[in-house]
Chains A and B, each alone.
Chain A
């Protein structure tokens, strides 16, 4: 029988101190029963002598030092699992959301997981076609990658994530897939948007939904992504599925982390966020990838809102240092009605290099995207120049770049929410746009590809509206 303590001595923010405890372990799961028999969950943050510092997931409102009792459960937080989690909905702590979401578990796993041994990893290099040119052509996603979307309030990140979930396919393969959708502090409407989209495409039966919505307990968000990733690891590495995990919004996760750190009066790192936030985020983001000898994989698309659209804010900054690239959305493109408003230049996929090329996408892909990047970067510079000096002051070649940047945004970046472009279409579109330049401007493309591809597109410069 587990001992019950009625010795809370201190309550502050989401934390409480229990004294006179015995045998309490760091990170242990805690049950807190309030006088009105409301049951809450917590986790041990620190043990010292006979004192335990406990973080309460559902908040400390209503907890008192007299009637509230505390039990230490002797283990960490577990998620109960079986293949039947597909199609079910769980709370941010991994409990069934309604009685119809209960399952007969086959096993349970600690939600903290364990680090994948780098020696066991298999390098992700399988191209995923998302049907979105700005991703497939320039920031290619591969199976097992963690590629976040950096967004701002009011930008259409949900549309993009849903479109990726809807259209993602590995060329020439039909395999078992699953979606783990993890809502971290987002609104009911946002969450419904995804769920409806999954329902319409039939993906809902293949989806596990972990929901902590805006009105759910904030501190619970510490556990929420871990619950989702525990499901993902189970499906990928024990059930051989290709799992796509959408985590939205990681900014809310970081706010919860900050709240706890502040309550502990820790010395803050940059802008009040705890100094260990990098390490903490890494224990989430690194739970993606492929493992040698296993069929399944985990691909992660975390979404996070950049406070004040600032990419150097600690949340996007530390995320970018961990993830394998980032897709950045731009408010100015959104205003120009470019949709999806993907800011191509600062976006990056670090794993593209081994996921593209001959036998994967097409031989000319790498040279082509290098050239598109260089040309677009130059085009943007020229546009800035033109603002100061007027278009007339540009050299002839600069005028070409000016035009190119415009067309590139209009035709290549911009496409319909339901438009699913093949990789060949995307690559050809790139050639078409580049064909306006004299050949010697295309330095990043090797001769043999210029010989082979360029003639097909010169003088057919007239661009049909894509799609």
Chain B
């Protein structure tokens, strides 16, 4: 530190400085005496362009720029879980303590608490030889997350000493004799955000990641280590879906990035997550969650950084062998931040003014997801990082460059439709346009662990929905009376699938989460009804009678039955049989009467 550049231009979040010889691309600098943090994004001769992570009002030509000769890094170690950070990993609670209710500029606060003592429990002993990625020991960070301390990258050798006891993150917990001398290991590590954390090998995602959301798990499932996107116009439910996933997804650690969205939505998470219980452990969900909040009114360049900050933290937990899920709401705001900076740099614009490298940046972000064999050669550890990005296309138009670039890389597409949202059919995921490319990957696992006819039911239900949309065309042209009895049963059952299965109210205590077992029984019951109704129709029962059956109400209420009462759903099939039996008798009686 200490090298001095000099500002020659200020234009919004972009500052250009001269006398910057020696500065490297993506190095962090501090701008002006009030020390606004920034990052070098272009170098030309001794001039450097800097994107500044704080508002630049009041900054002028001639003011100094301080070099750090270090890239933008995050701090990794105990204390991450339950934190809420801004885009450059400053804890918002500490900013609040320093500056009050409003965020002022030039505040520097440590990302991880320096004075807190953690109980470190070694899993290795002096004399062991260890390599990068090997586990030295752990800290019980929260009741849900055991925080493993791994040997940092590039270090290997023999453990000289390792301590059991209470330490701050900066204190030495172990000493390792490496080829170049003895290295002190503390629980604090740093990592440049724009660089992928290393792993041994990527493997194919083959295990489903259940979310408790019926339309997702049953129709468009995501795999552990997979990628998904949720595009949709405003108000279509992107954020609610992301919140639902953050709450109920079957992962060990959640990283939630609020990227350029509403302040109150982050507050909502902050207030709600400590109250909500993990369905498996009964512990508060906050105890597995890290929040990154760079809301729309916070500086635009930090929005660009926030997704990298988030994904690096997520990779760090992945390296411990956890299944980590990352949600980014919304990646469009990140793309817009790129566009704004690119515009100020006067780069050649591509589609809609977005920079030509938009696609490449999105692809390399999503490519950081995956299932990996972790670095450690000794221990066979697998970690997963699943990435789910919301996309906010202007006017909900899917030809938007961000949507298109995203669809080229992600494997699951949950397409939100305004019309479904207008009739309050939530989640407004279109069953006709969405897709998941993981169905084949996860087939074996699901058939062995959920039920062997899972995909048969899925296909059957889906074909009913497709048939429905064809029939609706006909009804629109010539009216319902022209349809055959079979077709009318299709319409009736498709409506059941839509309203009684796909529709799921995020704000209903029971409906908000459905276990995969319950989902399976629900869809099975509806399809059982379909088959029985068809049989009875063929044996001559009047369609109008079937359409008026009482059992429909019970099917409609399945979703409100608690998981512990799942037996009540299974017994519906008997009720279907007995009501149909009754109908048949009535029908026959009537026919005889004539």
A interface list, Cβ under 8 A from B: 22-28, 45-50, 75-76, 112-124, 237, 266-270, 275-276, 278-279, 282-283, 286-287, 289, 291-292, 294, 311-312, 314, 317-318, 320-322, 324-326, 345-346, 348, 350-351, 353-354, 366, 370, 373-374, 377-378, 385, 388-389, 393, 395, 439-440, 443, 446-447
Contacts and interface: CB of A to CB of B under 8 A. Distances in A.
Across chains A and B, which 3 residue pairs bring their CB atoms closest together, nearest first?
Answer: A312-B395, A377-B423, A282-B296
B395 A317 contact: yes
Nearest to A264: B11
B101 A122 contact: no
A23 B84 contact: no
30 contacts: A23-B62, A25-B10, A46-B9, A48-B61, A49-B8, A50-B61, A76-B58, A114-B102, A115-B102, A115-B297, A116-B297, A117-B96, A119-B92, A119-B270, A123-B268, A267-B343, A269-B353, A276-B12, A282-B260, A283-B297, A286-B263, A289-B263, A318-B394, A320-B234, A322-B296, A346-B422, A377-B423, A388-B476, A389-B479, A440-B556
Given A46-B12, A48-B8, 12 more contacts: A24-B60, A24-B61, A26-B10, A116-B263, A117-B101, A118-B84, A120-B102, A122-B267, A275-B336, A276-B343, A378-B423, A388-B476
Given A115-B297, A321-B234, A345-B422, A49 B93 contact: no
Contact of B57 (A25, A326, A373, A388): A25
Interface of B: 8-12, 16, 55-62, 84, 92-93, 95-96, 99-104, 233-235, 258, 260, 262-264, 266-268, 270-271, 293, 295-298, 300, 333, 336, 339-340, 343, 349, 352-353, 392, 394-397, 418, 422-425, 475-481, 499-500, 505, 507, 550, 552-553, 556-557, 560
B210 to A, nearest CB: 25
Nearest to B347: A267
Contacts of B62: 22-23
A308 B456 CA distance: 48
Contacts of A112: 55, 57
Contacts of B95: 117, 119
Contacts of A76: 57-58
B84 A47 contact: no
Contacts of B235: 320, 325-326, 346, 348, 350
Contacts of B550: 440
B396 A312 contact: yes
Contacts of B552: 440
Nearest to B298: A115
Contacts of B560: 446
Given A268-B353, A350-B235, A378-B423, A121 B336 contact: no
Nearest to A353: B507
Contacts of B59: 25-26
Contacts of B58: 25-28, 75-76
Contacts of A23: 60-62
Given A112-B57, A270-B352, A440-B556, A118 B423 contact: no
A113 to B, nearest CB: 7
Contact of A278 (B12, B333, B353): B333
A439 B479 CA distance: 25
B343 A275 contact: yes
A291 to B, nearest CB: 5
A269 B335 CA distance: 13
Nearest to B396: A312
A321 B392 contact: yes
A120 B422 CA distance: 33
A71 B101 CA distance: 34
Given A25-B59, A27-B57, A279-B296, A314 B423 contact: no
A237 B101 CA distance: 10
A243 B448 CA distance: 59
Nearest to A120: B101
* Most central of B394, B397, B418 by chain A CB within 10 Å: B394
Given A275-B339, A276-B340, A443-B556, A117 B264 contact: no
A286 B61 contact: no
A310 B474 CA distance: 30
Given A76-B57, A388-B476, A117 B9 contact: no
B394 A385 contact: no
A118 B263 contact: yes
Contacts of A46: 9-12
A269 B352 contact: yes
Nearest to A284: B297
B477 to A, nearest CB: 7
A53 B102 CA distance: 29
A41 B363 CA distance: 46
Nearest to B62: A23
Contact of B418 (A45, A114, A120, A346): A346
A114 B270 contact: no
Contacts of B353: 267-269, 275
A118 B266 contact: yes
Contact of B394 (A45, A291, A314, A326): A314
Contacts of B293: 118-119
A287 B550 CA distance: 52
A322 B262 contact: yes
B258 to A, nearest CB: 8
B92 A118 contact: yes
B399 to A, nearest CB: 12
Given A26-B10, A322-B296, A351-B264, A395 B102 contact: no
A45 B9 CA distance: 11
Nearest to B61: A47
Nearest to B330: A321
A435 to B, nearest CB: 17
Nearest to A121: B267
B507 A120 contact: no
A174 to B, nearest CB: 26
B103 A115 contact: yes
Contacts of B394: 270, 312, 314, 317-318
Nearest to A233: B102
Nearest to B333: A278
Contact of B262 (A45, A75, A324, A346): A324
Given A47-B60, A443-B499, A345 B423 contact: yes
A283 B60 CA distance: 22
Contacts of B418: 346
B102 A117 contact: yes
Nearest to A310: B395
Contacts of B423: 345, 373-374, 377-378
A21 to B, nearest CB: 8
Contacts of B267: 118-119, 121-123
A81 B258 CA distance: 34
